[in-house]
């Protein structure tokens, strides 16, 4: 019985980056022996065990044989006779098919160390194409290691293109797990770019694929010709630099769903135009079983983000109405999320990259001066029922009016303040 550290832990050790979790491989043992020495088996399909003290995962060496469609269509075979090289051969990428023994020696039968030096994501063997989940995993690794200049080997990308017909067999949960991990990387836009380049985006995220169907030409010809999809990915890249919050990042990629002509055509005469985007997001989230919090954040930003661009030109009642509709009083984080998504979009334009985002400061201050209303004093005046809500609204309007008049530093930015 021999023990080896395998997979991501060895890869990250060689890359000299923090190791998040350790996976161990056992050669020359059996399920009975593992149970006899105190390990706890988890799952029934795969021979994986938890260490009795530290609860790290230990897997018996195995081979897999394809017998059906999808990532679950495999027969798993274990035996004390299976070698380390045979187990590593079934793994996805060469950089993940490296082992380290208990003495610290590196075992690398498929040249993973060479690909680490070359910064290449390359499949180990043609067994790669038997599991469609690997398309998403490679896209995720491309996003995860983009800051280290990793790229996908052309032959691996070609293999991914041939595998997309099996993507519908993936469960929504597995798709979301890989997407969530990708949204947490430094370059989440790379994940969607890779999926688009190999033809998987139109199958897994057809709503996002549709964003690439509309070209946008700058009216002053000072910006390169783009389309909504390209801008969405650029915005996501900037959003990832502004925040680690995946709700904001997910909302950013969904912000313009419903803007594409083909998407609007698909919902023609069914729902009001301004709710097309939220309906598309709702369907996307239900299909992939995306958590409600992320879904609601994306829908709110999709529906209201356009009102923020010129919010400083609006009357106080319009500003308070926006706050009411997104329920910023009970959920102040919604304002923060929306402003982060909008700032990211603002900075996609070359002329605004280094400019202050005025709407952000304006709305934060407007919220700050209107959030505290003394409801007890309103009730003491004899105001009751629905009239209380109206009085709160009116008091908040007055606070905005007073703030505009007294805050001279905004007058040079917003000429309309001078007349209020």
Is the distance from CB of 245 to CB of 236 less than 8 angstroms? no
Of 131, 162, 182, which marks where a domain is finished? 131
pTM to 2 decimal places: 0.88
What is the pLDDT, as a whole number, of residue 414?
Answer: 45
189 Cβ contact list (under 8 Å, min separation 6): 143, 233, 234, 236, 237, 240
Run means of pLDDT, 10 residues per run, the chain, 420 residues = 93 95 90 88 80 88 68 68 92 97 96 98 95 97 98 98 95 96 98 98 96 68 70 96 97 90 60 79 96 96 90 88 94 96 89 82 92 90 89 93 69 44
393 found inside a domain: yes
390 found inside a domain: yes
341 found inside a domain: no
**CA 94: distance to chain centroid?**
26
Beta-carbon count within 10 A of 334 CB: 19
Q: Measure the N-to-C terminal CA separation of the chain; round to a whole number of Å.
A: 82
Q: How many CA atoms lie within 13 A of 165 on its CB side?
A: 5
What is the pLDDT, as a whole number, of residue 68?
Answer: 58
208 found inside a domain: no
What is the pLDDT, as a whole number, of residue 262?
Answer: 61
Of 106, 131, 156, which marks where a domain is finished? 131
The neighbouring-strand residues paired with 93 are 123
Is the distance from CB of 399 to CB of 370 less than 8 angstroms? yes
Beta-carbon count within 10 A of 392 CB: 19
Q: Domain tally for the chain? A: 2
DSSP, collapsed to helix, strand or coil, labels residue 382 as coil
The stretches of 119-187 forming alpha helices (DSSP H) are: 133-144, 154-163, 172-183
Q: How many CA atoms lie within 13 A of 310 on its CB side?
A: 4
CATH number of 77's domain:
3.30.460.10
Instruction: Express each pLDDT in 68-109 by its tens digit.
Output: 555 555 567 778 889 999 999 999 999 999 999 999 999 999
32 found inside a domain: yes
256 found inside a domain: no
Pairing assessment for the beta strands 99-101 and 106-107 based on DSSP bridges: antiparallel
Of 102, 131, 160, which marks where a domain is finished? 131
Give the tokens for residue 118.
Answer: 């070359």
What is the pLDDT, as a whole number, of residue 66?
Answer: 63
Place of tokens 């106080």: 316
**In this structure, what DSSP letter does residue 171 have?**
-
What is the pLDDT, as a whole number, of residue 218?
Answer: 54
Per the structure, the complete domain to which residue 407 belongs is given by 372-419
Instruction: Quote the CA–CA distance of 123 and 138 in Å, as a whole number.
Output: 9
97 found inside a domain: yes
Provide the angle, in degrees to the nearest 10, between the axes of the packed helices 188-197 and 228-242: 150
Instruction: Quote the CA–CA distance of 147 and 195 in Å, as a whole number.
Output: 18
162 found inside a domain: no
What is the pLDDT, as a whole number, of residue 324?
Answer: 95
């Amino acid at each position: 019985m021999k023990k080896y550290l395998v997979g991501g832990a060895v890869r990250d050790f060689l890359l000299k980056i923090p190791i998040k979790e350790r996976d161990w491989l056992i050669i020359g043992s059996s399920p009975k022996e593992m149970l006899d020495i105190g390990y706890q088996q988890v799952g029934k399909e795969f021979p994986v065990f938890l260490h009795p003290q530290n609860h790290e995962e230990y897997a018996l060496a195995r081979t897999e044989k394809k017998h059906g469609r999808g990532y679950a269509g495999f027969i798993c075979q274990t035996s004390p006779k299976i070698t380390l090289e045979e187990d590593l051969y079934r793994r996805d990428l060469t950089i993940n098919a490296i082992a380290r023994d208990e003495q610290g020696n590196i075992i690398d039968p498929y040249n993973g160390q060479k690909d680490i030096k070359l910064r290449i994501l390359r499949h180990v063997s043609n067994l790669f194409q038997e599991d469609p989940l690997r398309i998403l995993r490679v896209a995720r690794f491309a996003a995860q290691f983009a800051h280290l200049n990793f790229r996908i080997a052309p032959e691996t990308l070609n293999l991914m293109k041939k595998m997309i017909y099996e993507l519908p067999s993936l469960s929504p949960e597995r798709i979301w797990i890989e997407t969530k991990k990708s949204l947490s990387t430094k370059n989440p836009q790379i994940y969607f770019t890779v999926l688009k380049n190999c033809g998987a985006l139109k199958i897994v995220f057809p709503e996002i694929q549709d964003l690439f169907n509309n070209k946008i030409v700058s009216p002053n010809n000072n910006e390169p010709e783009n389309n909504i999809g390209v801008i969405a990915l650029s915005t996501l890249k900037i959003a990832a630099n502004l925040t680690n919050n995946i709700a904001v990042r997910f909302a950013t990629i969904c912000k313009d769903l419903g803007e594409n002509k083909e998407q609007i055509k698909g919902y023609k005469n069914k729902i009001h135009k301004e709710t097309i985007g939220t309906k598309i997001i709702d369907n996307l989230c239900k299909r992939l079983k995306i958590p409600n919090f992320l879904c609601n954040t994306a829908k709110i930003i999709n529906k209201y983000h356009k009102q923020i661009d010129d919010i400083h030109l609006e009357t106080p009642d319009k500003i308070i109405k926006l706050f009411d509709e997104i329920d910023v009083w009970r959920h102040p984080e919604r304002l923060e999320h929306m402003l982060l998504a909008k700032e990211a979009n603002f900075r996609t334009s070359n002329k605004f990259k280094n400019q202050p985002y005025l709407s952000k400061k304006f709305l934060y201050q407007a919220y700050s001066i209107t959030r505290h209303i003394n409801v007890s004093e309103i009730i003491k005046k004899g105001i009751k029922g629905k009239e209380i809500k109206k009085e709160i609204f009116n008091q908040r309007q007055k606070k905005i009016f007073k703030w505009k008049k007294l805050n001279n530093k905004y007058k040079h930015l917003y000429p309309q303040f001078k007349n209020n």
